[in-house]
Structure 1
Amino acid sequence: MSLGDERETSGGYGGTGQTRTRLPESSGDVYGGARRGGRSSSRSLVTVVGVVVLLIAAIAFANRGGDDSGSPSGDENQPKSSTTAASGTRPVDGKAAGIPGGFARDEQGAQSAAANYAVTLGSTGMFNKESRHGIVDAIYTPTAAAKLQGAMDQAYTADFLSKLGLDADGNAPEGSTFVSRTVPVGTTVDQFSQSGAKVSVWYVGLIGMSGTGSTDPVSPTWKTWTFDLQWVNGDWKITADTQKDGPAPVPGDDRAASSDEISKAIEEYGGFTYAR
């Protein structure tokens, strides 16, 4: 839901910018064999939402201010327990169009909002015009949403979707499962005030097509998604966002699942509502 220290100027998590996609080339279950290198199509997809968003709302973020001098005595190389331990009270109770809302007006609420918005913007709902419009209206400020809708519609053309193996409504072919999912690993507050916040979400994205004949199997990619949030009408809303690559852990030696296993897992395991 691209990016070392580079900022991507947008086209949408669903947008395009400079994306490369791959049309189906051959039949057969690519999940059973060795995994391709490169996977430019999947990597482009993971940043699609950020791409469109950045075209419209890219801004120069101020360098993180403040001096953390005056840290408590002790081994400064040791992380504080608060930076590694799970915290938070409970997920929010409110929902609008299936999207969590009603976040607290504090740092925890801003982090929870950013994590949930990353999940929403990284979902397959972004590839359908009607659901995408609902998502954008629900989680962006009115001003940002008004600018984004047209740009995203231009990015999610029928031609673009077809190159991903989807029809004009964002549906996968019969027998295949299109996977687009963002899984937050952690959040951090870069800036905070009662009226605005800047929150970064470290996440792993799952992207690709699962099914017989797929040439773009589902694979993970690691990103950091930074959101500028504004307190509007009793909730946190997005004004702008950027993404960058990593930090990515060393790949493990896990056996790659078959396309059937991936499809079944996607159908059986739902997403979460995140609280800090």
Structure 2
Amino acid sequence: MSFDDEPGHGGADSGHADDRFSTLGGTRQTRTRLPEGPGDTYGGTRRPPRTSRSLVMVVGVVVLLIAAIAFANRGSDDAGSSPDNAAKPGAAGSTAATGTKPVTGKQSGIASGFPQSEQGAQSAAANYAVVLGSEGMFNTSRRHDIVNTVYAPEVAAARQGDLDKVYSGKDFLTRIGLNPDGTSPTGEIFISRSNPVGSKADKFNGTTATVSVWYSALFGLAGEGSKNPVSESWFTNTFQLKWTDGDWKVTDFTQKDGPAPVGRDQAAASAKDMTDAVEQYGGFTYAR
């Protein structure tokens, strides 16, 4: 999370289907019933519904769908057996899981023990992005635990001093609506949560890695009358990782804004709903 910018924020066309003046599925066409026999001013007897023809059409659509699904699955299997993929047995798409367990343990409540692999480096970076963007960073004792766990020993002490200056700064805390000791005002709950969307290894050589993590962030104070309500923003953190003492550790990282999607036209949650959601929905251990 950036220290100068607190993590911050769409429309969708409902289409003709929601237009109360539209007919025939939103096409704005109308039906006109014509007389079906001579001298029948009001249209005569209605023809019986053509159930057999409708049934044939429905069956035809179902058959086409089944055929399309079978073709898609066959194409996927063929792609998986191609020479290119065979040369990369561990290859995975941008949203595909590797199937490897992301972590074997935890330290100070933080996922640890990641495998010495590209997948392990990505999993470590995703989990570190979460904890470095959490409410714990605003508590001195918890912040020290986090820094000593995720940073390499040779940089942890220096980074801890820098972070103490930022997170303990009265002006910074006041600006985001917290008390001088980092606690929330009475009747309000502080929310700072990072939610990784994906990760990628920019560089990897076995003992060092550069990994980028794209994530959304919720940040603010939930409560009636909050002057800094919870808002959403998007960031990408790029971590420099080093294999140290049997685990991946951070030596440095940078942050940039976005990429941010177009927001939808959704009503913001009430202060109570937002508070309840954060308290009731726990976080995850993130894996690649």
TM-score normalised to the size of structure 2? 0.68
Matched residue SS, 1:148: helix
Task: Provide Cα deviations, 1:160-187, integer angstroms capped at 9, x if missing partner.
Answer: 2233222233211221111100000000
CA distance in 2, matches of 1:266, 1:84: 26
Instruction: Report how far residue 255 of structure 1 moved.
Output: 1.6
Seen in structure 2, the aligned counterparts of structure 1 residues 208 and 252 have a Cα distance that, compared at 3 Å, is same
Matched residue SS, 2:197: strand
Instruction: Report how far residue 217 of structure 1 moved.
Output: 1.2
In the TM superposition, what are the counterparts of 1:1-276 in structure 2 within 5 Å?
A: 1=1, 13=2, 16=3, 19=4, 44-46=5-7, 82-156=93-167, 157-276=169-288
- Comparing both chains, which one has the higher relative contact order based on Cα–Cα distances under 8 Å and sequence gaps of 6 or more? 1
Matched residue SS, 2:6: helix
Q: CA RMSD in A?
A: 2.0
Instruction: Report how far residue 230 of structure 1 moved.
Output: 0.2
Matched residue SS, 2:115: coil
Instruction: Report how far residue 72 of structure 1 moved.
Output: 5.6
Flag the structure with larger Rg.
Answer: 2
Range 207-216 or range 80-89, more displaced: 80-89
The answer to whether the Cα contact below 8 Å between 2:105 and 2:113 also exists between their aligned partners in 1 is yes
* Identical amino acids, percent of aligned pairs: 53
The answer to whether the Cα contact below 8 Å between 2:7 and 2:231 also exists between their aligned partners in 1 is no
Matched residue SS, 2:269: coil
CA distance in 2, matches of 1:81, 1:227: 21
The answer to whether the Cα contact below 8 Å between 2:213 and 2:237 also exists between their aligned partners in 1 is yes
Q: Report the count of equivalent residues.
A: 208
Q: Match for 1:46: what amino acid?
A: P
CA distance in 1, matches of 2:99, 2:188: 38
The answer to whether the Cα contact below 8 Å between 1:208 and 1:218 also exists between their aligned partners in 2 is yes
Task: Provide Cα deviations, 1:44-80, integer angstroms capped at 9, x if missing partner.
Answer: 1239xxxxxxxxxxxxxxxxxxxxxxx969xxxxxx9
Q: Match for 2:115: what amino acid?
A: A
Instruction: Report how far residue 86 of structure 1 moved.
Output: 3.2
CA distance in 2, matches of 1:139, 1:200: 16
CA distance in 2, matches of 1:272, 1:84: 17
The answer to whether the Cα contact below 8 Å between 1:46 and 1:122 also exists between their aligned partners in 2 is no
The answer to whether the Cα contact below 8 Å between 2:127 and 2:286 also exists between their aligned partners in 1 is yes
Range 162-171 or range 90-99, more displaced: 162-171
Q: Match for 2:164: what amino acid?
A: D
Q: Match for 2:122: what amino acid?
A: Q
The answer to whether the Cα contact below 8 Å between 2:7 and 2:232 also exists between their aligned partners in 1 is no
The answer to whether the Cα contact below 8 Å between 1:88 and 1:275 also exists between their aligned partners in 2 is no
Q: Give the 4+ runs in structure 1 shifted more than 3 A.
A: none
CA distance in 2, matches of 1:86, 1:235: 21
The unaligned stretches of length 5 or more in structure 2 are 9-82, 86-90
Q: Match for 1:101: what amino acid?
A: S
Range 98-107 or range 249-258, more displaced: 249-258
Matched residue SS, 1:82: coil
TM-score normalised to the size of structure 1? 0.71
The answer to whether the Cα contact below 8 Å between 1:224 and 1:246 also exists between their aligned partners in 2 is yes
Q: Match for 1:222: what amino acid?
A: W
CA distance in 2, matches of 1:112, 1:81: 14
CA distance in 1, matches of 2:95, 2:165: 41
CA distance in 1, matches of 2:115, 2:97: 17
Instruction: Look up the match of 1:60.
Output: none
